[in-house]
């Protein structure tokens, strides 16, 4: 009988894709993916520690497996991802979750298969958390689970040390993949029918700076433009401190690139941005938005915002509100500041109280939601091109997005997943769109 695995993933797309790589390793070893934890022989927790709630979520779930592990002696429990790279983690783990069999850090996750073999041949737990990264491994074939979308790493790590952020500590310095490897992967994905490719990096604009072959993000986008076939290209994330006209022009000139840019602002107050070590001011950010809209007039802009950063006053927060209103974002991920051990901001005095943080996030979410609702209304009566991503069983409808990222639902009599369709929008469902298919592309 074949053995089964289940992977629980927390955190960002980077982690989602890393789980696909672990799934690829396990499947090459003959394991099959299962949905029911009771049937699993290997359980993997791919963790995140960017905010406290992500961490608690993972800890809670690892705790719940204790009973199962007691009843099923051969079950292997593995923990990987960003949490494992934190110094305090090792102690927490051995005292709270002694039944975990494998701990593997972010720098050697390509060795997951070898560590699993090691564990299977010995009783002792296997712990391997490195201080610096292994060379980039190009030989793992990920088992992708989000067709027709595919994630492609262009770089790993981060050099920016935003004062609130744990990522540079748990992911190390920037390492870019060779352009030829990225291009080969994108080409293969397109040949295999994938229709939306998202290039991943903590700061995609600095792609290639660590390579000595003249690679740059703008050049990479130009090279991807030469790939034939119809597909969408997206990026995650652009750092406002070094998005250049070159990059925006490369996006504008690339027929595959969605006219949509994720440009995390974090705060609308220059004082707070300084304390966050973001290396741009409110004014510089706004002039970048202007530059983008000059080059790509209908470009969607989305963002990430943190409220309640230490010392944030009501005035600072109102500057964020006014920036949100000025830019008119097409979408915003909003977060309550969460102190992360070891970061500069966690040592700052004047942490904002939980009540104030809660009040601010609620006000901000209301403003952005209202803006999304108003924006959706503008679509009614129009025809939009949608890439069909999934069938929503609860809504009994297919689901997909337009180039700008707006979600749409529609019924159809046959499977449309992975197809481009033209949908006439008849009404809105809050922030999303509802319509009928008027054309299916071959
Ligand atoms: N590299 C990306 C962001 C990766 S983390 C970038 O710089 O744009 C995703 C988001 O999590 C960040 O943009 C930020 O808004 C949020 N975040 C990071 N650390 C946080 C913290 N300590 N508390 C709350 N939100 C945080
Ligand atoms: Fe974190 Fe800043 Fe790096 Fe993004 S750029 S991962 S927010 S340190
Ligand atoms: Fe991503 Fe969380 Fe790590 S956001 S890089 S999984 S800390």
Residue 115: closest CA among 92, 88, 134 = 134
Residue 59 in contact with residue 21, Cβ under 8 Å?
A: no
**334 and 412 belong to one structural domain:** no
Q: Is the pLDDT of residue 2 over 90?
A: no
Q: Is the pLDDT of residue 211 over 80?
A: yes
**62 and 179 belong to one structural domain:** no
How does pLDDT run across 39-65, given as a tens digit for each residue? 999 999 999 999 999 989 999 999 999
Q: Measured in angstroms, how far is the CA atom of residue 423 from the centroid of ligand 1? A: 34
Helices (H), 328-353: none
**201 and 318 belong to one structural domain:** yes
**109 and 162 belong to one structural domain:** no
Query: CATH number of the domain that 399 lies in?
Result: 2.40.50.140
Query: CATH number of the domain that 34 lies in?
Result: 3.40.50.12160
pLDDT over 90, % of the chain: 94
| Side-by-side strand order, sheet with 232-236 | 149-153, 196-200, 232-236
pLDDT over 70, % of the chain: 100
**272 and 338 belong to one structural domain:** yes
Q: Is the pLDDT of residue 1 over 90?
A: no
Query: CATH number of the domain that 225 lies in?
Result: 3.80.30.20
DSSP class of residue 417 equals T
Tokens of 191: 């040949």
**255 and 195 belong to one structural domain:** yes
Q: Measured in angstroms, how far is the CA atom of residue 50 from the centroid of ligand 2? A: 10
How does pLDDT run across 251-295, given as a tens digit for each residue? 999 999 999 999 999 999 999 999 999 999 999 999 999 999 999
**Structural domain span for residue 65:** 3-128
Ligand 3 close to Cβ of residue 86 (< 6 A): no
What confidence score (pLDDT) does residue 36 get?
A: 93
**366 and 394 belong to one structural domain:** no
Residue 399 in contact with residue 408, Cβ under 8 Å?
A: yes
Last residue of a domain, one of 324, 358, 376: 376
The residue whose CB lies within 8 Å of the most ligand 1 atoms, and thus the one to mutate among 12, 50, 339, is 50
What confidence score (pLDDT) does residue 87 get?
A: 83
Residue nearest to atom 24 of ligand 1 (CA): 337
Average pLDDT, the chain: 96
Q: Tell me whether residue 265 is in a domain.
A: yes
The residue whose CB lies within 8 Å of the most ligand 1 atoms, and thus the one to mutate among 54, 165, 200, is 165
Q: Tell me whether residue 307 is in a domain.
A: yes
CA-to-CA distance for 439 and 97, rounded, in angstroms?
Answer: 54
Q: Is the pLDDT of residue 90 over 80?
A: no
Q: How many domains does the chain have?
A: 3
Residue nearest to atom 5 of ligand 1 (CA): 50
**105 and 190 belong to one structural domain:** no
């Amino acid at each position: 009988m074949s053995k089964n695995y289940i992977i629980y993933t927390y955190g960002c797309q980077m982690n989602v894709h890393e789980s696909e790589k672990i799934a690829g390793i396990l499947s090459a070893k003959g394991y099959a993916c299962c949905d029911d934890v009771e049937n699993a022989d290997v359980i993997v927790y791919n963790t995140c520690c960017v905010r406290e709630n992500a961490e608690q979520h993972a800890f809670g779930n690892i705790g719940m497996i204790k009973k199962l592990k007691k009843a099923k002696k051969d079950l292997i429990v593995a923990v990987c991802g960003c949490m494992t790279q934190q110094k305090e983690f090792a102690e927490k783990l051995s005292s709270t979750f002694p039944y975990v069999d494998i701990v593997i850090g972010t720098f050697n996750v390509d060795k997951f298969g070898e560590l699993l073999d090691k564990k299977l041949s010995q009783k002792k737990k296997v712990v391997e958390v490195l201080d610096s990264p292994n060379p980039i491994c190009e030989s793992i074939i990920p088992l992708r689970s989000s067709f027709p979308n595919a994630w492609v790493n262009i770089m790993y790590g981060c050099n920016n040390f935003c004062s609130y952020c744990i990522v540079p500590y748990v992911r190390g310095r920037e390492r870019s993949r060779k352009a030829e490897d990225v291009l080969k992967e994108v080409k293969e994905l397109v040949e295999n029918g994938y229709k939306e490719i998202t290039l991943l990096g903590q700061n995609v604009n600095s792609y290639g700076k660590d390579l000595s072959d003249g690679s740059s993000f703008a050049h990479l986008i130009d090279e991807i433009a030469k790939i034939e076939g119809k597909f969408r290209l997206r990026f995650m994330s652009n750092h406002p401190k070094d998005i250049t006209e070159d990059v925006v022009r490369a996006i504008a000139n690339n027929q595959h690139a969605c006219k949509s840019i994720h440009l995390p602002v974090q705060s609308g107050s220059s004082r707070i941005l300084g304390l966050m070590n973001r290396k741009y001011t409110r004014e510089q950010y706004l002039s970048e938005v202007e530059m983008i809209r000059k080059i790509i007039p209908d470009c969607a802009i989305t963002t990430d915002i943190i409220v309640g950063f230490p010392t944030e006053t009501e005035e600072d927060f109102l500057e964020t509100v006014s920036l949100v209103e000025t830019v008119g974002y097409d979408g915003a991920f909003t977060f309550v500041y969460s102190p992360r051990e070891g970061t500069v901001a966690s040592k700052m005095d004047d942490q904002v109280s939980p009540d104030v943080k809660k009040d601010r996030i609620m006000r901000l979410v209301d403003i952005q939601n209202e803006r999304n609702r108003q924006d959706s209304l503008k679509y009614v009566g129009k025809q939009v091109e949608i890439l069909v991503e999934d069938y929503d069983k609860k809504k009994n409808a297919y689901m997909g997005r337009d180039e700008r990222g707006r979600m749409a639902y529609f019924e159809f009599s046959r499977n449309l997943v992975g197809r481009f369709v033209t949908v006439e929008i008849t009404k809105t469902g809050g922030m999303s769109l509802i319509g009928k298919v008027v054309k299916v592309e071959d």
